[in-house]
Amino acid sequence: MTTLMRALALFLVMLLSGCALPLGESLLTPAPSNNPTPQATVIELSNKIKALCLEPVYAAYFAKTFCTPSELSLAMMSDRTKINSAQKEALNAWAQAYDKLAEEFNEALPLTSAANKQMAEYNKIVAFPAAQKNRLELYQGSITWAVYNRKRKEISDGIAAESRRVAQQKL
């Protein structure tokens, strides 16, 4: 797989999970050109999405859920509490910022390759609607944090599986 494809696969796994930047990394600065390449746009948006987890305004939300699937803990998977008002406020604020960036990302993604065009379609038809439904159920108090976190993990796993499937088509 090319470096861009590897980065995309990793990003897509984290896309619906929110994400944290590794220690010592910062957001990419915008390309000096007025017209950045689609790849540069995808990378820039990916970094902005990853940075959302670090914003203090979303701390109440990320205290109960993971930024990346690897951060999913047993405590998160067994948390039988439901969302409270502070967490609802943080979830709502994060979702608005995240959805805007994710939509921009998904618009730029198909411009990078045919495989990424397939992933953008999967995101639009499968992953994004599932994530939004999951968030709404949590927000409405219909599900616990444990159920929400397990569904988030399932959505992330689905993205990873689709990314592998699409990458295998190229071989």
Amino acid 34: pLDDT: 75
pLDDT band at 152 (very low <50, low <70, confident <90, very high): very high
The model's pLDDT over 88-115, given as tens digits with 9 standing for 90+, comes to 999 999 999 999 999 999 999 999 999 9
Average pLDDT over residues 71-97: 97
At 30 the three-state DSSP class reads coil
Counting residues of the chain whose pLDDT is more than 90, the rounded percentage is 75
Cα torsion at 37, 52, 102, 134 (round to 10°)? 160
pTM, two decimal places = 0.80
Average pLDDT over residues 122-143: 98
The model's pLDDT over 10-22, given as tens digits with 9 standing for 90+, comes to 454 454 444 433 3
Average pLDDT of the chain to the nearest whole number: 86
Asked if 76 and 64 count as a contact pair (C-beta separation under 8 A), the reply is yes
Domain ranges of the chain: 3-17+36-61+79-170
